[in-house]
Amino acid sequence: MNCLFSLCQDGNGKVSRVIRIGTRKSQLARIQTDSVADKLKELYPDFHLEIGEQLELWILLLFTKELENALERNEVDLVVHSLKDLPTSLPAGFTIGAVLKRENPHDAVVLHPSKTGKTLDTLPEKSVIGTSSLRRAAQLKKRFPHLEFKDIRGNLNTRLKKLDEKDDFAAIILAAAGLKRMGWENRISMVPLLMMMTMMSDPLGALAVEVRARDADILEMVSVLHDPDTVLRCIAERAFLKQLEGGCSVPVAVHTKVKESQLYMTGAVYSLDGSQSIKETMQTSIAPGDERVDEQVQRVGVTAMKVPAEAQDAAERLGIKLADLLLSKGAKEILTVARQLNDAR
């Protein structure tokens, strides 16, 4: 097959438009990217451009730091991420062109094989729980003071290997969505009733497709992948985090749901040990009204073509207002101390 730029010609002379997808070099990332590619193939079985080109998808495996560089250099046309991995402000020239329907957004407890049948309540005193999330640790420390919490790093496969092959951890906390995508739901021992956090681990459960903001044809193509409710929830959550200046260095939690044209949002901030917290809930209407859409307007990095602009604006305002409410009640002071303590570790 001969290729030039993003066109390819096979031995029969058939010309195809090549869409190159970038993804991280991990099993979970590849599974997530394959799911997006499959949806595009299903939605565009006979994709044709003006000269009769057919859509062909290539998936390129890259390291994380290479992804946006490759996008900037036109080496890939889109990149598939877990939305929690993307900052609330993207580099100039990039946008989130699609937010797919959210998977199970909950945290999950995965026990060491020797602890089968136990729960966090019944684990022995000073049992060690592994998590890379400050938010998870803060919430769990408050609920389970008899347990100890230690950092655990690596991709999903690496963390499970560290749990199963050593005796360092009695259990680890992972995202239920990632375990489900890997086909490892049988490892979920329990789902703790914690608030979800959008930027510190994968309880968000939503996949995002990042593209070049100037590529109108690619934006149009991936926009059909948007799940409207998930888009609005994620815009609100990202606006909340941006206003709080929350990120991986502080324990900030947010949970949203859509019910009967209302968007409900609960947000909270925590001290590192979970002893201090501020939590509030607000809601707003996202009922259909003005059906106007903004073809190229970004909100906290998201370009949601075909989703009503009025609903997007309402979601963004909700996130900002809830963050401002927490700040007015002392959230900044709690987060400042948490950030300083975390930086000193």
Catalogue the active-site residues: 85
Q: Which amino acid is at 196?
A: M
CA geometry: angle at 298 spanning 294 and 304, to 5°? 55
How many C-beta neighbours within 10 Å does residue 232 have? 27
Beta-carbon-side half-sphere exposure of residue 241 (alpha carbons within 13 Å) = 30
Give 213's contacts (C-beta < 8 A, 6+ positions apart). Answer: 93, 94, 95, 219, 296, 298, 303
For residue 35, list its beta bridge partners.
none
Q: Comparing C-alpha atoms, which of 184, 185, 154 is closest to residue 169?
A: 154
Give 78's contacts (C-beta < 8 A, 6+ positions apart). Answer: 19, 20, 21, 22, 71, 97, 209, 210, 211, 218, 222
Q: Is 264 left (phi over 0), alpha (psi -120 to 50) or beta?
A: beta
